[in-house]
Amino acid sequence: MALGVSYNGRAFEGWQSQASGITVQDHLEQALASFCALPRVQTLCAGRTDSGVHGLMQVVHFDTPLQRDDNAWVRGTNRFLPETIAVQWAQRVPSSFHARASARARRYAYVLLESPVRPSVDCGQVGWVFRPLHQDAMVSAAQTLVGEHDFSSFRASSCQAHSPVKHVLRIAITRRGAYWRFEFEATAFLHHMIRNIMGCLIAIGTGKQPVSWMAEVLAARNRDAAAPTFSPDGLYFLGPVYDASWGLPDRTPAFDWLP
């Protein structure tokens, strides 16, 4: 069975199950177990998110002998979930489907508020910078990262990925009023990779570093060469990209409200 799940990550210690039980996976698996009347239901996700990071279309799969229609899975599981987590869709999939391994790419968006005053109503939903940003400089620097590269300079020390080499397919930077949206698509991402890239882009956008600095950071293959890790507040996992042959819904709920 596959599910599409959205969540506000601010109250959780990331996606992956932990002893504390305060993770999205813990809540989802408890809800599924309650709905299925089983001691435990174990899930596998398309991409783990950190503490404070939001998910608009996390995809998970799990094995179950229970036969229910798709809408029953959605309504029944949501009944046992906190209000900040919601199953968006459910669909039976063949046993060959794997939420992580079957994904061709993954997409994220970072929403950033440029304002002399910190966020209030959207606190926890957006990152924040109080200095003006220069779009052309950030766009030029971002293009340095497109393609297949060794992203060691943007890799957290706790990263468990087998290789730092990843293929970034697209980075787009747009602005609407006081809000910036940075969109990232890659075959896969390293731990903290986007937040570390964001730190560098903002350093360049505010004029602290030249555009050429991004290439220097990338070539260094050393985390110490890059900017500090940026806040998780405005980071959204938009979801994985699968081949159409799987027949999974291709939609990202609530994406349009993001500036």
Domain contains 249:
no
Residues 92 and 111 in one domain: no
Residues 127 and 97 in one domain: no
Residues 84 and 149 in one domain: no
The reported pLDDT for the residue numbered 159 is: 87
The reported pLDDT for the residue numbered 158 is: 85
Q: Could you list the active site residues?
A: 50
Residues 37 and 60 in one domain: yes
Q: Measured at the alpha carbon of residue 258, what is the angle toward residues 256 and 259, in degrees to the nearest 5?
A: 110
Phi then psi for 143, rounded to 5 degrees?
A: -65, -20
> What domain range is 45 assigned to?
2-102
Residues 117 and 223 in one domain: yes
Q: Position of tokens 């899975």?
A: 73
Which tokens belong to 241?
């990209």
The reported pLDDT for the residue numbered 61 is: 96
Amino acid letter, 211: V
Residues 110 and 54 in one domain: no
Amino acid letter, 180: W
Domain count for the chain: 2
Q: What is the CATH number of the domain that holds 166?
A: 3.30.70.660
Domain contains 119:
yes
Q: What is the CATH number of the domain that holds 14?
A: 3.30.70.580
Q: Any long-range contacts for 135-140 (C-beta under 8 Å, 24+ apart)?
A: 135/173, 135/175, 135/205, 137/204, 137/205, 137/207, 137/211, 138/173, 138/201, 138/204, 138/205, 139/173, 140/211
Domain contains 256:
no
Euclidean distance between CA atoms 226 and 212, whole angstroms: 13
Euclidean distance between CA atoms 27 and 79, whole angstroms: 12
Domain contains 257:
no
DSSP conformation letters of 193-229: HHHHHHHHHHHHHTTSS-TTHHHHHHHHT-GGGSPPP
The reported pLDDT for the residue numbered 255 is: 61
The reported pLDDT for the residue numbered 148 is: 98
Q: Is the pTM of this model over 0.75?
A: yes
The reported pLDDT for the residue numbered 242 is: 95
The reported pLDDT for the residue numbered 225 is: 97
Residues 90 and 184 in one domain: no
Neighbours of 40 (CB within 10 A): 9
Domain contains 54:
yes
Domain contains 258:
no
The reported pLDDT for the residue numbered 256 is: 66
Neighbours of 61 (CB within 10 A): 19
Which residues does 163 contact at the CB level (< 8 Å), separation at least 6? none
Digit-by-digit pLDDT tens for the chain (259 residues) are: 999 999 999 999 999 999 888 999 999 999 999 999 999 999 999 999 999 999 999 999 999 888 899 999 999 999 999 999 999 999 999 999 999 999 999 999 999 999 999 999 999 999 999 999 999 999 999 999 999 999 999 999 888 888 999 999 999 999 999 999 999 999 999 999 999 999 999 999 999 999 999 999 999 999 999 999 999 999 999 999 999 999 998 766 556 666 6
